[in-house]
Amino acid sequence: MSALTTVLPGESFIYFGDTARAPYGGRTQEALIQMNAEIIRFLKSFGIKALVMACNTSCSVVLPTLPKDPLLPVFGLIDPAVAEAVRVSRNKRVAIVATAATIRSGSYETALKALSSDCLTTGIACPDLVPMIENGDLDSDHAQKAVATYCAEMTAFSADTVIFGCSHYPYLRPLFEHYLPASTFFVNPAQTVATTVYETLGKEALLNSGSQKGIVDYWASGDTRVMKVFLSRFLGQEVEIRRTHNPPRPPGTPPRSG
């Protein structure tokens, strides 16, 4: 969110966190498609002019299945990040750290190969990182051991470029930097997609030309407490989050306090 508001300070945003059904990494494709359809329908009700799918798992599994809507540009994280990785990698060895679902989809690897046929890739599933980050566990012994293990795989592969294939992972960048060579280049898809959104809205004459700063309206599908602590910690300011049961909770899931 911070990348978008920095690049597009005059725009207002609706941020939706699916706290009732996260994490997405272990979900089936069918479930992810249904869940994302519900979220998109909810966001469209606000009259949005563009949609940023800011979850790498959804971008990998769901985005390729979405029908084109000429009235609503949809931005994913993968293509801008891949283009940046190809541009900066010197030895054409790129590591992708992501959720299990994103790694299973092979989306980053396929996009990298399509853009640079001589690019070698390795995908590393990191299922334990999201819970640690959301709990503020950024430098404990457990976090250090986990990141060190993943970095050992990247070092063995001789990767000189790392794509953070999950929007949470850049918060652990200091640990990755500690365990990887100083020359390693890190690609944060949030930053690359923000630039793409800015350029595209400008070309389509959709940018807000006013001088007034935009606002961010935060919504959650379930418990708002963890999301509030997480966002407030990493954005550096208190945020207020509204709760909605549309999208609905998964069948059989009891209400969660918020």
The residues annotated with a catalytic role in the active site are 55, 166
| Residue 28 CB burial class (10 angstroms; 0-12, 13-18, ≥19) | exposed
164 in helix, strand or coil?
A: strand
> CB neighbours of 196 closer than 8 A, spacing ≥ 6?
75, 79, 80
Chain-centroid distance of CA 214 in Å reads: 21
Categorise residue 95: left if φ over 0, alpha if ψ from -120 to 50, beta otherwise.
beta
**Strand locations in 3-92, DSSP E?**
13-17, 51-52, 74-75
d(C-alpha 70, C-alpha 119), whole Å? 33
d(C-alpha 72, C-alpha 204), whole Å? 11
Token pair, residue 91, equals: 């030895």
148 in helix, strand or coil?
A: helix
Integer-rounded Cα radius of gyration of the chain: 18
User: Kindly report the CA angle at 178 between 121 and 150, in degrees rounded to 5?
Assistant: 40
